[in-house]
Amino acid sequence: MQHSHLTPAEGRSFETVGTDPRVASAVYAEALGGADLRVTPVSEEFTFRYASLGNDRVALRTSDCAGSLAGDVHHLRDYVVAWFRAGAGLLDLDRFRRRGSTLPFLLPAERRFSVDFTPHRQNLVHFGPAFLEDVATEFHAGPPQPVSFDHEADPDSGLLGRWRTAVSDATAAFLEAATAPLLRFGVELNLARALLALFPWRAWDVPLVLRKPSMAKTRLALDFLQHHAHEPVTPADAARAAGLHTRSLQLATQRHLGVSPSTYLRNVRLDRARTELLRGDPGRTTVGAVAREWGFGNLGRFAAAYQARFAEKPNQTLRR
């Protein structure tokens, strides 16, 4: 195995090249946050190369592996988007499978998933959690919060060009050691914004305890409610999607959030209704229509629940 270090103006960059599949397994496991992965040669002449160029905010990575790569990723902290230039692979998220291709796809953060990749050539972009969550505040009202991507959604085809241009600009800036720090930071911001436009996502306040690996299933159930609140779903649906018993989800949300899953879902829908009222035109939007859209058939009960949560009446929000 051979190590050679790249030298951009800042950051943690490296290149690892080798012929030992055991070393390759260790490299990929470390790159994906301590995963349980195995590289298996498909021929006698096995080689691999894994390289990273960047820093704690954004790292551009490439993977060339002449063997198959399979196993479990337990708790990836970075936000990662990847695509294949050659080969293919399968992501298994328990209730949903995605086949990786030349189109960008997301590796789930802070939840367990499995990979099964053929020999491949792949590009990846790692975003540091603090950086991406900070950039996301440009798009939502609130402090930095975990970004919950909808992993069942495809990238927006109309924004692929913007994403690819941002990747190209970042690559050029990272490779040029003379790039001024502010210019480099600018391309990092553009790349993060391009990602946040490419896939649908939600930002919500996740208590630190729910970001622990041991709470991954509860977090997944709550993510389900966040992404499907506009649909006729129940806490039982969320528990099923996360591989939990409904009672286990009830106990977890009551213990860590102080509410039942049903109350949690109602609050999510109230939050969405508030967003629509804030954006609405008082001349066209009505409180009743917004309430019905979010599943509140009784306007009086909606108004009471709304005022209890936000300390103002829904019609006051609409007139802002």
Number of C-beta neighbours around residue 139 at 10 A: 12
Taking residues 173-178, what's their average pLDDT?
A: 90
Helix intervals (H) in 12-82 = 21-31
State whether 83 and 132 are in the same domain. Answer: yes
Look at residues 164, 198, 232 and tell me which one is the last residue of a structural domain. Answer: 198
CATH of the domain at 269: 1.10.10.60
pLDDT digits (tens, 9 = 90+) for 10-19: 456 899 999 9
**Measured between alpha carbons, how far is residue 3 from residues 18, 38, 121, 245 in Å?**
9, 20, 19, 47
State whether 47 and 153 are in the same domain. Answer: yes
pLDDT grade, residue 102 (50/70/90)? Answer: very high
Taking residues 198-207, what's their average pLDDT?
A: 91
Give the angle subtended at the CA of 3 by the CAs of 164 and 82, to the nearest 5°.
25
pLDDT grade, residue 2 (50/70/90)? Answer: very low
Look at residues 147, 179, 198 and tell me which one is the last residue of a structural domain. Answer: 198
Taking the C-alpha atoms of residue 188 and residue 59, their distance in angstroms, rounded to an integer, is 9
pLDDT number for residue 89: 95
pLDDT number for residue 3: 42
Task: Evaluate whether 120 touches 65 at the Cβ level (below 8 Å).
Answer: yes
State whether 186 and 219 are in the same domain. Answer: no
Give the domain extent around 182.
2-198
* CA dihedral over 294, 111, 107, 8, signed as positive or negative: positive
Question: How many domains in the chain?
Answer: 2
Task: Evaluate whether 48 touches 11 at the Cβ level (below 8 Å).
Answer: no
Taking the C-alpha atoms of residue 158 and residue 163, their distance in angstroms, rounded to an integer, is 10
Taking the C-alpha atoms of residue 89 and residue 119, their distance in angstroms, rounded to an integer, is 9
pLDDT digits (tens, 9 = 90+) for 18-68: 999 999 999 999 999 888 999 999 998 999 999 999 999 999 999 999 999
Task: Evaluate whether 122 touches 62 at the Cβ level (below 8 Å).
Answer: yes
**What mean pLDDT is reported for the chain?**
92
Share of the chain above pLDDT 90, in %: 83
Beta strands in 25-78 (DSSP E): 36-41, 48-54, 58-65, 67-73
Look at residues 177, 198, 219 and tell me which one is the last residue of a structural domain. Answer: 198
CATH of the domain at 172: 2.60.120.10
Share of the chain above pLDDT 70, in %: 96
State whether 131 and 34 are in the same domain. Answer: yes
Taking the C-alpha atoms of residue 258 and residue 193, their distance in angstroms, rounded to an integer, is 34
pLDDT number for residue 153: 92
Task: Evaluate whether 188 touches 216 at the Cβ level (below 8 Å).
Answer: no
Taking residues 206-234, what's their average pLDDT?
A: 92
Taking the C-alpha atoms of residue 222 and residue 19, their distance in angstroms, rounded to an integer, is 43
Tokens found for residue 20: 């030992």
Give the angle subtended at the CA of 88 by the CAs of 100 and 58, to the nearest 5°.
60
State whether 209 and 167 are in the same domain. Answer: no
Tokens found for residue 299: 């306007």
Residues paired with residue 149 on neighbouring β-strands, in sequence order: 201
State whether 140 and 189 are in the same domain. Answer: yes
State whether 245 and 96 are in the same domain. Answer: no
Taking residues 65-75, what's their average pLDDT?
A: 96
**Measured between alpha carbons, how far is residue 233 from residues 225, 251, 258, 265 in Å?**
8, 19, 21, 9
State whether 267 and 124 are in the same domain. Answer: no
Taking residues 147-156, what's their average pLDDT?
A: 93
pLDDT number for residue 4: 38
Taking residues 272-292, what's their average pLDDT?
A: 93
Please, what is the end-to-end C-alpha distance for the chain in angstroms?
64
pLDDT number for residue 320: 81
State whether 232 and 252 are in the same domain. Answer: yes
Residues paired with residue 41 on neighbouring β-strands, in sequence order: 67
Helix intervals (H) in the chain = 21-31, 129-136, 160-175, 181-198, 216-228, 235-242, 246-256, 261-279, 287-293, 299-310, 314-318
